[in-house]
Amino acid sequence: MIYEKIISRRTCRKFQQRSVPRDVLIKCVDAARLSPSAANRQPLKYVIVDDERLLREVFPALRWAGYLPDYFPTEDEMPRAYIVILLDKTISDSPGHDAGIAAMSISLVAHDAGLGTCILGAIDRDAIRKVLNIPEHLDIVLVVALGYPAERQVVDEVRDGDIRYWLDEEGVIHVPKRPLEEIVRWNGYQ
């Protein structure tokens, strides 16, 4: 069951304009809170954004698809919530792997609730800090955009070493993945 959720979850960049239930957002953050943390330091904090004005103010601070520079959500396709993952520098000076683990936990809980997510690291941190009034002792690590998907993605095999995702004529995003046989070795790398 978990395996199926993981392999069916894809990054979503365009969203229906339906509100995300607050109880789902809380479950997402709770899953992140309970996820593994290096040395159990738990240095992450979270800001949930679902206020319409703030959604619109954060939106321009996000960068969407590096391989598809002309593919990004319009204001009519923007996320309906954000979860901003913060590092509390009074606890730790580095998020290590904690932020990635938290972001994936958020994404899987959201996916299980029928939502799409986009984990964003290419963001204007200064703009987000100002809009959300985030204090200086908290570093903005990642933003997870959430909402009901308004696009479709499929997995393809990598061809000729090209791992760039691409958009077909029907608006479907194709996400090439390396074959399992290429990335796995047993009992050493031979």
Compute the average pLDDT of residues 35-52.
97
Q: How close are the terminal C-alpha atoms of the chain, in Å?
A: 32
Other Cβ atoms within 10 Å of 29 Cβ, number: 21
Q: Which CATH number fits domain 152-190: 1.10.357.10, 2.60.40.290, 3.40.50.1700, 2.20.180.10?
A: 2.20.180.10
Contacts of 124 (CB under 8 A, 6+ apart): 60, 61, 62
Edge-to-edge strand order for the sheet containing 116-120?
Answer: 44-49, 81-88, 138-147, 116-120
pLDDT of 128-150, one tens digit each? Answer: 999 999 999 999 999 999 999 99
Contacts of 106 (CB under 8 A, 6+ apart): 28, 29, 31, 32, 83, 117, 144, 146
Q: Do 152-190 and 2-150 have the same topology in CATH?
A: no
pLDDT band at 1 (very low <50, low <70, confident <90, very high): confident
Considering the entire predicted model, what is its pTM? 0.95
The full set of domain ranges for the chain reads 2-150, 152-190
As a whole number, the mean pLDDT across the chain is 96
pLDDT band at 190 (very low <50, low <70, confident <90, very high): confident
What is the DSSP-derived secondary structure letter of residue 180?
H
**Among 5, 3, 4, 1, which residue's Cα sits nearest to residue 117?**
5
CATH code, 2-150: 3.40.109.10
- Give the separation between CA 48 and CA 150, rounded to whole angstroms: 21
Residue 161 has pLDDT above 80, yes or no: yes
Pairing of strands 152-157, 172-177: parallel
Beta bridge partners of 153: 173
- Give the separation between CA 140 and CA 77, rounded to whole angstroms: 24
Outline where the chain has alpha helix (H).
2-8, 22-33, 52-58, 98-112, 125-132, 180-183
